[in-house]
Structure 1
Amino acid sequence: MSTATTPGLGADHLAHVAESATPTVHRGGEERHGIRRGLGILVRIVLCLVFGLPLVFMFVSSFKPDLQIFSDLGNIKAFLPVGDISLDNYSGVFGRVPFAQFMMNSVIITVVTVVLGIVVNSMAAFALARIGFKGGGIVLGIILATLIVPFETLALPLLWWSNKLPFLGPEGFTEGWLDTYQVQIIPFIANAFSIFLFYQYFDSIPKELDEAAKVDGAGWFRIYRSIVMPLSGPAVATVAILTFLPMWNQYLWPLMAVQSEELRPVMVGIDYFKQLNTSWGQIMAYASIITAPVLVLFIAFQRAFINSIASSGVKG
């Protein structure tokens, strides 16, 4: 009788042990998940402070006079809108520089460069990725090799060549592109990194679509315009954003190639506040104004930006 009941008691005992052990394992997993989540939140907070506090300091300082900016540097007041707060710095910005002209110049230069850059770089990448001509790999390698050359090493030769190019302007045929819009746009249309991004994305699109289009009588340009580009929205968004940011922040090249005030972009306008008496409050106000459009655009399209980067074939 006891022999018959022992297995049953053993099975009940094992079931009880298993039931009592399962919550412990589950609690351990929850604890580890909670720790990882807490560390993740802590890292995000630290990153927000590292990248956000300089922007907060810039914006808050734009409302303070210079003396208060320096007196608040040693404490938390530097990040708080306290003390002598006013809009005098902003009114001083518009009185000291032709801000509307600078802003319009930057918008024109940036938008034209982004649009032409998407067209030119995508067509170059399409030829390399889809047409597959002989020596295409060598051409792509040469294009990518230009990424290791810093712009500062090319600035002076580029300036010399730009001054030798023919130009048909309002005064007739002249020599030299200096002090024009095109000298700020054309040298930056073709971009090796943009070509590489488009190449990666185009190469991932099935080439069977090209064959099907050829059967219907489509040529290469029709395939590019009607098939490949409509499927490349994430790559287009990535290239547009990564072209917009450096063009909006362009400083060295306009400073070298542009002398007329009516053609200068917004970044060069900061130099106006360093002449004679430096006004740090006005510099902060000016920087806040020209930074606001970039922040608004990024906040509005941050999800599209992250998705475009994730799906554009950029791999570490």
Structure 2
Amino acid sequence: MFVSSLKPDNQIFGDLSSLAAFLPIGNISLDNYAAVFDRVPAARFLINSIGVSAVTVILGIFVNSLAAFALSRMRVPAKGLILTLIIATLIIPFETLALPLLWWVNQLPNFSVGPEGFSYLKGWLDTYQVQIIPFVANAFSVYLFYQYFDSIPKELDEAARVDGAGWFRIYRTVILPLSGPAIATVAILTFLPAWNSYLWPLMSVQSEELRPVMIGVQYFFQLNVSWGEVMAYCSLITLPVVALFIAFQRSFVNSIASTGVKG
């Protein structure tokens, strides 16, 4: 993909029958990358996706870890049943929820600030929050945090309680600092679906200035298809994912390894 993004279309198809397709040889240039920014507002799409994905990750870590902390460390009635129901939601495909969810978010109140002050609008369609809020809570993230928190000795909670710490302080100062691998894993697993989201933004976002990067792919297939530009755009939108994985790779691997040992 990256090598093809450096070549013109005629060379891409000419190299397909040989190993030259994998080598940066021939007429190599960055013209396709320059053409990407001329054809679509790629910079705006990248900023939108980075913002939406980052906020989803931050809120997701906070909300899901809080839920897992309550189930793991506190005395919650019917804890097993609640956790089972949360995990059971994983079997429901998003496609079955998309239309009901679209109807519900269109009923929610939306407030905007303008020159005349606050104004009330009905519906979250065509907003940033419609791309974030429905995907903050995640059953798999709750389960992963629960499993990790459950492996931390509860004697630490008792020691903190003796020092006068409340539940939230225990969560903030004792549990979270010990849960780096779980946080890194949830961050990656939350970021990927948010970054790769296509169906939901296609249904709920109409304004071009609010669209994420995946919607931008369809722009290249509306008129004459330039495969070099398609490869260049796909290379650009892959870089943040690769960078995130490299940044959290050690914690991600440690989380998988420790889960295997504890299991």
Whether TM exceeds 0.5 here: the answer is yes
- Which runs of structure 2 are paired with 1:20-169 in the superposition (5 Å)? 58-169=1-112
Which structure is richer in relative contact order (CA contacts within 8 A, separation 6 or more)?
2
Which of 163, 166, 172 aligns to 1:225? It is 172
Q: Are residue 248 (structure 1) and residue 166 (structure 2) matched?
A: no
Which SS does the other structure have where 2:111 is aligned?
strand
Identical counterparts, % of pairs: 71
- Which runs of structure 2 are paired with 1:154-303 in the superposition (5 Å)? 154-170=97-113, 172-303=119-250
Contiguous gaps of at least 5 residues in structure 2: none
Which stretch of structure 1 is more off in the superposition, 262-271 or 294-303? 294-303
Computed over aligned residues only, the root mean square deviation of the Cα atoms, in angstroms, reads: 1.6
Tell me the distance in 1 between the aligned counterparts of 2:169 and 2:251.
27
Q: Which structure has the highest helix share of the two?
A: 1
Tell me the distance in 1 between the aligned counterparts of 2:174 and 2:98.
38
The offset of 1:276, in angstroms, is: 1.2
Tell me the distance in 2 between the aligned counterparts of 1:122 and 1:304.
17
In structure 1, what residue type is equivalent to 2:165?
A
Which SS does the other structure have where 1:282 is aligned?
helix
Tell me the distance in 2 between the aligned counterparts of 1:220 and 1:251.
39
In structure 2, what residue type is equivalent to 1:232?
S
User: Retained in 2: the 8 A contact 1:64–1:86?
Assistant: yes
Tell me the distance in 1 between the aligned counterparts of 2:27 and 2:222.
25
In structure 2, what residue type is equivalent to 1:243?
T
Question: In the alignment, which residue of structure 2 is the partner of 1:25?
Answer: none
Tell me the distance in 1 between the aligned counterparts of 2:260 and 2:197.
27
CA deviation map 1:210-245 (0-9, x unaligned): 222222222211211121111111111111111111
User: Retained in 2: the 8 A contact 1:162–1:176?
Assistant: yes
TM-score (structure 2 length as normaliser): 0.93
CA deviation map 1:229-265 (0-9, x unaligned): 1111111111111111121111111111100011111
User: Retained in 2: the 8 A contact 1:234–1:312?
Assistant: no
Question: In the alignment, which residue of structure 1 is the partner of 2:254?
Answer: 307
Which SS does the other structure have where 2:120 is aligned?
strand
In structure 1, what residue type is equivalent to 2:147?
Q
In structure 1, what residue type is equivalent to 2:178?
L
